[in-house]
Chains A and B, each alone.
Chain A
Amino acid sequence: MLSIKGLFCGYNGVDVIKEVSLDINAGENISIIGPNGSGKTTFLRAVAGLIPYKGSIKLDGKEIVQMKRKEIASKIAFMSQISTIYFSYTVFETVMLGRYLRMKGGVFSEPSKKDKEFVLKCLDAVNLTELKDRQITSLSGGQLQRVFIARTFAQEPEIILLDEPTNHLDLKHQIELVEYLKEWSQKGRRVVIGVFHDINLAMQFSDKILLFSDGQVAAYGDYRTILDGDLLKSIYSIDIKNYMLNSLRRWESYG
């Protein structure tokens, strides 16, 4: 579905991503992990066609850079990290904006019944049905994050790119979201690519892990092969395995 070859990209002429090549197949979920500044977000932006790049990113055989915005957005939804909200809308209105390309009626007409039902379904998926008439400025960070996730669903894409989708969520909602995303992608042979800081959650979300280090792919494959050896330790410059085992011991002794 996505085929990336010799990708270089960055900002103001400085490459953040340096020569990345990989393929992603339909129905596959990918967790991206890596230390701060390793190029995770930049990689997502390039795939979403939001920044210029050198090399090639092909979506179903078509080069992203040659596609129109509308064409990309009908296939790829991208949720960036939350930024300040200046003007408030209701939860329902916000998710409805995701239907931008799908809405048939003119600007002055109400959204169709089909669009409204679809939005309600998306809200239901993130447990927000009860809050649908609330103003988004009155929501907590986690609720807001779920609103934006619902908006990516409303876009009906084939690929969803999520930049740290779980960073404002409590544990219950993190796990629920990860489970829902898995179900969503399996149902229609779709793809979810998510950036995670929590390595445990990443492994729960997908078998396949993409590990970035300094703008390059340090590892790409099943998490079982990545956990093996000293790779994570050297990239994160901390003994992750030992840290996790210590936590586990605490739970076993006192939990």
Chain B
Amino acid sequence: MLISFFICIIVILAGIGIGSVPISPADIIVILWSKLFGKEIPPEISDITVSLIWKLRLPRVLLAFIVGGALSASGAVMQSVLKNPLASSYTLGVSSGAALGAGIVIIFGITIPMLGRLTLPIIGLVSGLLTVFLAVTFASKVDRNMENNTIILAGMVFSLFINAILTIVSSMAKGHLERIVFWQMGSFASKDWTCVIIMAFVVAAGIPCVMSFSRELDIMTFGEEQAQAIGVELKKVKWYLLALSAALTGSAVAFSGIIGFIDLITPHVARKLFGSTHRYVVPLSALFGGTFMVAADLVARTVISPSELPVGAVTAVIGAPFFGYIYFKRRKRG
């Protein structure tokens, strides 16, 4: 576990250091140290380097880390709650809802006065959550026991339907197509401290909430009937956990667009290394997801520098084969 922390810190430092202007880890530590404790920055480090780190690289890397963590923790929860190793918040339509919301904001150029620049992420979040809410409510109406298969199917139906609407809407507004498509591909470019701080609050509140349900999550992986028989108030806990993880994914999507795969793989990696107990799976998924996201973002912005690859594509390109390897290797053994 210590090794994981260590790797994570190295990756973050690498994420900050590597770029069009390389900066040595020693300088980074000196700059961070001085900034955090209000000390003078030694004269041998130039002002440009300082502002490059403090204004550009650090917020970007931190946002990538937090978003990766939020996505992965919520993926772990979804997989266990729905008792399906292939589930994620995206299964329930968070991403398509958010994409439709964002698409509408982009096409109509809406700006809500109080929110200003944050209109896009916040509408994205709200419409993502709304979609999940509608899907789960629908599922609970048609199936009083809210069984997992009903929830997954309802989520799929809603996602597909909303995707279709988004396609129709964007085909009618060709001028905005590029922006909509780029938003959907996900990116951490030009994000400032506001985003980092908001996301940090969401994650700092969300992950401990999720972790306080570790035991229920453990029990729920054994099936709904057994969970109830052991004494879990299944329907209530399910609603609560689905809402929590939708909120985590929703806010991540709102700030960075749709970045797939990370929420699917990292919980599997965490389980493989440290067992399935959620007391460990949830925080470690978050840690791995964050680290992986920083690495993926690093690749995305350096490979064809000065232009960038969409980070969502990078996670999928690395993630898909990796996932196949992990998952099928385990199957063979078991």
Q: In the complex, are the beta carbons of A138 and B334 less than 8 A apart? A: yes
Task: Determine the distance from Cα of A97 to Cα of B229 in the docked complex, in whole angstroms.
Answer: 11
Q: In the complex, are the beta carbons of B221 and A80 less than 8 A apart? A: no
Q: In the complex, are the beta carbons of B218 and A107 less than 8 A apart? A: no
Q: Kindly identify, within residues 275 to 305 of chain B, every residue whose CB is under 8 Å from any CB belonging to chain A.
A: 275-277, 279
Task: Determine the distance from Cα of A205 to Cα of B219 in the docked complex, in whole angstroms.
Answer: 30
A73 within 8 A of B: yes
**Per-residue contact bits, chain B 107-132, to A (CB 8 Å; 1 contact, 0 not):** 00000000000000000000000000
* A138 nearest in chain B by CB position: B334
Task: Determine the distance from Cα of A86 to Cα of B276 in the docked complex, in whole angstroms.
Answer: 10
A249 within 8 A of B: no
B228 within 8 A of A: yes
* A72 nearest in chain B by CB position: B231
Q: Could you tell me the distance in whole angstroms from the C-beta of A242 to the nearest C-beta in chain B?
A: 38
Q: In the complex, are the beta carbons of B230 and A48 less than 8 A apart? A: no
A196 within 8 A of B: no
How many residues of A are in contact with the other chain, CB < 8 A? 36
**Per-residue contact bits, chain B 86-109, to A (CB 8 Å; 1 contact, 0 not):** 000000000000000000000000
Q: Using A89-B276, A107-B279 as known contacts, say yes or no to A97 and B222 having CB atoms under 8 A apart.
A: yes
Q: In the complex, are the beta carbons of A93 and B277 less than 8 A apart? A: yes
Task: Determine the distance from Cα of A97 to Cα of B277 in the docked complex, in whole angstroms.
Answer: 11
Total number of A-B contacts with CB less than 8 angstroms?
86
What residues on B are CB-neighbors of A86 within 8 Å? Answer: 83-85, 221
Q: In the complex, are the beta carbons of A100 and B279 less than 8 A apart? A: no
B215 within 8 A of A: yes
Q: In the complex, are the beta carbons of A89 and B275 less than 8 A apart? A: yes
B140 within 8 A of A: no
What residues on B are CB-neighbors of A103 within 8 Å? Answer: 215
Q: Could you list 28 A-B pairs, sorted by A, with CB under 8 Å? A: A45-B225, A48-B228, A48-B229, A49-B228, A50-B228, A50-B229, A52-B144, A69-B228, A70-B233, A73-B229, A73-B231, A74-B231, A80-B223, A80-B225, A86-B84, A86-B85, A87-B79, A88-B334, A100-B231, A101-B230, A101-B231, A107-B211, A107-B215, A108-B279, A137-B334, A138-B334, A155-B230, A155-B231
User: Could you list which residues of chain A lie within 8 angstroms of chain B, going by C-beta atoms?
Assistant: 45, 48-50, 52, 68-70, 72-74, 76-80, 83, 85-90, 93-94, 97-98, 100-101, 103, 107-108, 137-138, 151, 155
5 nearest A-B residue pairs (beta carbon) = A73-B231, A78-B229, A87-B276, A101-B231, A87-B221
